[in-house]
Amino acid sequence: MVFVGLAFIFFGTYLGYFTYIWRCVKKSWELKAERSFQPKITILVPVHNEEDNIERKLKNIENVLYPKDQIELIIVDDASEDKTLEKVRVFAENNPDFKLTIIGQNSRVGKSAALNKALNLSTSEIVIVSDADTLWPPNILVDALPYLADSNVGAVTGRSVNRNIFESWVTKGEDIYLNLASLIRLGESKVHSTIRFEGGFCAYKRGAFERFDCETGSDDSGTALEVVQKGFRAIMVPEAVFYTDFPTKIRDKFKIKVRRANQLFGLWFKCLRLMLRGELRLPKRIAVPEIILFIINPVIFVALIATVLIMLILSPLSPFSIAIILSVLILLVFARHVFIELLLDNLILFYALITFLLGRRFIAWEKPS
């Protein structure tokens, strides 16, 4: 009976919210996007030990389809110990017509604090943040920025695409997760807003926020929440894709996703506090399911696993035990990647929840080996 109740809550939340989101995705945008909207923009690229990526990133930004006299580029370095800044300076010398500013930190302060230092130098009405290890297609700005022409939209984000999907079973599983997450983010954007922003491409109206979020450790999603709290919409533009490479090893996947989940727990606990005080401006039909999926469902999932293990140990030949074993075998045969990704993601969320409750915070970024 306990198993049935837990399973109903766990799978019911997923199926119910996905069904609702799927219907919302099919709705049209209620926005006034203007293709001619080409304001002056500031692109902030935060870096720490990015000597392997920074030159490629700079050339990538140089090749975007946007008037060069409308682009201001600021590289903000968080105390790199390699040749990152040296390569940036070489690029600046070889491209004197490109407006590029370098900001350096003497000691590491974390990504959000570094971005806020760069924000003080921005002179544009639109501020865009992009991680150094991501790449843009040439048309990303002309696809995404028209949505900011609508007075109700304060921020837009893009959709990440892994370039190495078929490199290992880890990257295949991550692709499944990204597709489901993108579906949810698009549906939430059609309803009102999504605060699940991604660091590869985040564009904000300067008047829609004051500073990048330092409270939750999530500079992208935390700032999107501030935009919503200011009365604007924060949306994902599905055609604004950017490219990245995901680690191929389970150890590195675990490190990255635990850090990200830990930051998102700070975000959703903040939403919960705001909602309980009646101050949350993100619609409850978005906030409540997300809070359940992130905070409650991982705990239920671990309880489900514990219940199943106890039943298998106490009654290995019971109809219930046999049914569970057969169900797992069927899933492994016909939906192996989906099943393993569901298992891993919820275990990672549970572990990240424990780290968050124990007071551990991931403020500065850390690269996998």
Does a structural domain hold residue 97?
A: no
Instruction: Report helix angle 336-357 to 169-191, nearest 10.
Output: 70
User: What does the alpha-carbon distance between residue 198 and residue 188 come to, in Å, rounded to a whole number?
Assistant: 15
Domain that holds residue 178: 1-44+119-369
Residue 331: helix, strand or coil by DSSP?
A: helix
Total-model pTM: 0.89
Does a structural domain hold residue 227?
A: yes
pLDDT at 369: 40
pLDDT at 1: 64
pLDDT averaged per 10 residues, the chain (length 369): 82 92 92 91 93 94 93 91 92 90 82 88 93 95 96 96 92 91 96 95 95 85 96 96 94 92 92 96 95 93 90 85 87 84 92 92 53
Could you tell me the CATH number of the domain that includes residue 40? 3.90.550
Tokens of 55: 């030159």
Tokens of 77: 């370095």
Q: What is the mean pLDDT of the chain?
A: 91
User: What does the alpha-carbon distance between residue 2 and residue 4 come to, in Å, rounded to a whole number?
Assistant: 5
Does a structural domain hold residue 281?
A: yes
Does a structural domain hold residue 56?
A: no
**How many structural domains compose the chain?**
1
pLDDT at 216: 78
Burial 56-88 (b: 16+ CB within 10 A, else e): ebbebbeebebeeeebbbbbbbbebeebbbebb
Does a structural domain hold residue 110?
A: no
CB atoms within 10 A of CB 22: 12
